[in-house]
Structure 1
Amino acid sequence: MNSKHILAIFISGMVALGAPACKKYFEPSTAKSEDEALRTPEDVSSATIGAYAVLKNPAYVRSIHFLTEYQGDNIAQGQASSDNLSNAYRYTHLVDMSHVTNVWQQSYFVINAANKVIAFVPDDASATLRQLKGENLYLRAMMYFNLARVFGRPYAQDNGASEAVPVMPETGAEELPARQTVKTVYEQVIGDLERAANLMTEDKNNNFASKEVAQALLCRVYLYMNDNEKAIKYADTVINSGRYELLRGGDYQNYFRGVPESNRETIFCIRHMKTENRDFSAIGSMYFSEGGQGVTGWGEIYASKQYIDLLDKYPEDLRHSFISPYTTDGTLSYPYPVPVTNIRYNTRLNPNTPMYYINKYNYQEGLVNLSSPVYLRLAEVILNRAEANAKGGSGGLQAALDDVNRIRERAGLSGTALHTLASVAAAGKTVLDVVLEERQLELAFEGHRAYDLFRNNRPLERNYPGTHALNNTPNTDITQTILPTDDRVIFFIPNRERLVNKNLTQNP
């Protein structure tokens, strides 16, 4: 058996076993040494494909979605569940949650695999090898950034001084590393992304990293750091690259249903082929089910009434297409809005509430639960630039509104639905209020909302029916407020990791 097959088995086997993420436990006894396993460009290519494959593992892609999206106010859990995704939604975090452990372990699988390639390939290698090294640098940066979001406090709260996660050395010299600060992890992420952008020269499709993918993530990272000028710089670079454009009309309404490679707006997605349909283990199974709950999916998570009320301010908004009201005759209205006179109510919640399914993760290429979750897209980059300008960026407040209106016009809005400085002031809002509201509408269900609030020092306020009421006394109180300084805005370090690595401190 040649080295690339051994390396591929090594990666897939470790994912299946779910071994702890520390370097000490990452190397199986039968694995070849790094020098043996990586000898040729083909070996490096195989290792890189293996790293991408980990992203598609439900233990990563599904769990990271639960931890990032379910803390927001765009969704409502419609019934209590034994799955600890409920703990993420209700902010009742545990020291051992399967989804938290999954994200930790799968992230370090990718990081450790990427480390091997990065250490092996010199910066003056062939263009093919430099591209692959750049892709691994991007993957490592993406993992560290997501880990810092889940386990470290928002950067802006203390300039990154709080603890985040360990940074694994490429040499593997330190087997049980301690946690590094959020600032240190962000510095690692920025360094990796800058190197990646310089090394990658191929215009690969949106299933793979490229120079623009690294730059788009840099834009997001700098926005999270409140470095507005650098966020604007990288937004301009991506927007002006000419590689991407906003989808419009029917193409936009079917954004998540087509072949991902054909989508001109997507910058990077986690590509799932038809043969990789996860059915009830797919993200979309939680949001959607044809013919009633439990038929094609669980259908337990709905669009919140708070989100629906915001969306319904303008019935012509094309983003209604991403919502499917569930009716009493068992049908799903698509596209919405249409006259829905027989919408089904969820009687498990008090008060009873209409059931609005979400379809952003369904019907890719016609398969009900197939989707390729989008991690970066042009609309986000445009709204990143809008937010940076709204917070004092050199473009100014009018530029921020111009970007917001660009997104609103694409969504089919016009006239008084578009914002001016005068209309914003008349409504008693700030330009930042308007930008964050547009981010809520446009990027809903894609893992942004809670972070948009907390990193801007704003509370998350739920005032709609959902199982978060179970935490309240009496349990008919549907209001839940999570302050940005609350301990619960981040998750506990998995206890099983701390049993292995005594150098890992715990979040309060």
Structure 2
Amino acid sequence: MRKHILFIAALLFVSTACQDFVDIEPQYQEEISNGLVDIEDYEGATIGILSAMRANAYYGSTYGSLMDMMGEDLYETPESLGNSRNMTDWIYTSANGTISGAWLRMYQVILRANTVINGIDDVEEDVAGRKNRLKAQALALRAYAHFDLLRAFGQSYDRNSTELGVPVKTDIEISLPDRATVQATYDQIFADLNDALGLYDNMDIADADIPTTFFSKLAAQALLARISLYAGLDSDAVNYATQVINSSRTGLVSRANYGLVWTQEKVDGSSVDSEVVFEIAFTFGQDSRIGSPIYFVPNNRVAFRPSTLWLDLFGATPSDDARYGAYVRADSRRGGAIIPSKYESNDGFLSFKALRLSEMYLIRAEAYANQNMNTEASADLNTLRAARIDGYVNENLTGAALMNAIKVERRKELFMEGHRWFDVRRYGDGINRGPDFAAPAVTQSIPAGNFRFVWPIPQDEIDANPSIADQQNPNY
């Protein structure tokens, strides 16, 4: 039982508002350092990192459905209980529980990763390849969580920005770090991922044998593509996305089979198609249903519906697009109203598709467009559309028309996957909600560059950590 102390929810520097907390003698420090003994312990600890990502405050809800609920593609219905309204109406403060919960859960992932990273080399068994596999995953997942923190709380996405990023943690000591700059935060993220790539090349098993519910080298390359796009490193984004696209393990499924990605049950936690690079497995009886804030299947409560703005993206014949039928359906119990159905299958217990091949096509298309490589960008856009839309005819786009098409395709393809809020901020756009948005929602628009696109550092963290007392994000 001693080793299980590692997985308590006490998060090093994410503490309560009580200042006395930081003065408590770290009574569990010895257990954290010595609780893992052999390689089997570290195998279990690596699973523990992944399990922390399933929390409601992370990919169980906040970094999944909520990011679309905060945009203009889903609107709140009278069936909603209003539990997320302070987020969806952008009236949150530094005391907001959803925000503090996300902060805490991401640092929990980092704590668990640090436990593996800082201890596994001391294992005396001659299992170098196995050590490399587990340490590589821990490094990549630490980078993943630091990047997700940066996306929400960092003051900029620019690779070399000297604005404030987030506190960086690479050890298991109780400490009170200040906020690193955005540049320094990226430095750590890229260092972790590059170190991971080297370790992945010397594992005990082939990378292709790592299930998609664990973090493989292919997943690390996909994550690097995403991060590089955010950071404005377009050449790198193209390079990493290309590695994923060209892998023998990936391929866009046919239009006829696309719905299986979202309807077929998991088999032993495995992926059901070649489009999924990394998925977070949810377990019946242990986790929440990942789409439940939008559509809670057991009691048939549809709290959010797809907006007219989103539905109109599919044009006059939406049934031609495989995504329309895979993501929404007409509900006879509501007079034929269109409701979300993406996570309806298996009573909502599906894996969260955190990294998908289609995103790599969209990343590469955008990165090409940013470099005025219009032919290449159009080719990627055409490839994805042809796989999704019946009778699609290729287009050769340039300039603003090309970028707008990429934005539209991201909204269609990645619907309810946690990208929209970050995309709006990343593009420097604002949000103008359509005619569906009325009571109970009250806020209809948020201008480009508004301070609320950057979340506040949780007040309990500010109170507990003097190092960041004067580092709150502006206007909170």
Structure 1 partner of 2:315: 312
Matched residue of 1:379: which SS?
helix
Q: Distance in 1 between matches of 2:26 and 2:62?
A: 25
Partner of 1:506: 472
Shift of 1:84: 5.0
What is the alpha-carbon distance in structure 1 between the residues aligned to residue 66 and residue 232 of structure 2?
23
Contact conserved, 2:381 with 2:406, CA < 8 A, in 1? yes
Q: Is contact 1:7–1:31 with CA below 8 Å preserved after alignment?
A: no
User: What residue in structure 1 maps to residue 292 of structure 2?
Assistant: 285
Residues 179 and 31 (structure 1 numbering): CA distance in 2 closer, same or farther, change over 3 Å? closer
Q: Is the 8 A contact 1:20 1:105 kept in 2?
A: no
**How high is the TM-score relative to the length of structure 2?**
0.87
- 1:92-491 equivalent positions in 2, closer than 5 A: 92-122=91-121, 126-156=128-158, 159-170=160-171, 172=173, 175-200=175-200, 201=203, 202-203=206-207, 204-258=210-264, 259=266, 260-276=270-286, 278=288, 282-289=289-296, 296-315=299-318, 316-327=320-331, 329-330=332-333, 342-344=335-337, 356-363=338-345, 367-392=346-371, 396-416=373-393, 418-421=394-397, 429-467=400-438, 470-471=441-442, 479-483=444-448, 485-491=449-455
Distance 1:27 1:236, change over 3 A: farther
The 10-residue stretch of structure 1 (239-248 or 127-136) with the greater mean CA deviation from structure 2 = 239-248
Distance in 1 of aligned mates of 2:105 and 2:381:
36
Aligned residues: percent identity? 28
Following TM superposition, by how much is the alpha carbon of 1:482 offset from its aligned partner in structure 2, in angstroms? 2.7
Residues in 2 aligned to 1:13 and 1:480: alpha-carbon distance in whole angstroms: 37
Distance (whole Å) between structure 2 residues aligned to residue 455 and residue 59 of structure 1: 22
Letter in 1 for 2:246: N
Structure 1 distance, partners of 2:24, 2:358, is 38
Q: Distance in 1 between matches of 2:333 and 2:172?
A: 57
Gaps of 5+ in 1: 332-341, 345-355, 473-478
CA contact (8 A) 1:10 1:28 kept: no
Gaps of 5+ in 2: none
Report how far residue 297 of structure 1 moved: 4.7
Task: Point out which structure has higher relative CO (alpha carbons under 8 A, 6+ apart).
Answer: 2
Deviates more, 1:250-259 or 1:214-223: 250-259
Find the aligned partners of 1:126 and 1:25 in 2 and give their Cα distance.
Answer: 39
- The CA distance in 2 between the partners of 1:380 and 1:25, in whole Å, is 45
Aligned to 1:476: none
Give, in angstroms, the shift of residue 55 of structure 1.
Answer: 1.1
Counterpart of 1:42 in structure 2 is 40
User: Number of aligned pairs?
Assistant: 453
The one-letter code of the counterpart of 2:391 is: S
| Offset of residue 147 of structure 1 | 0.5
The 3-state SS of whatever aligns with 1:261 is coil
**Per-residue deviation, 1:468:** 7.9
Secondary structure in 2 matching 1:193: helix
Instruction: Output the amino acid matched with 1:29.
Output: Q
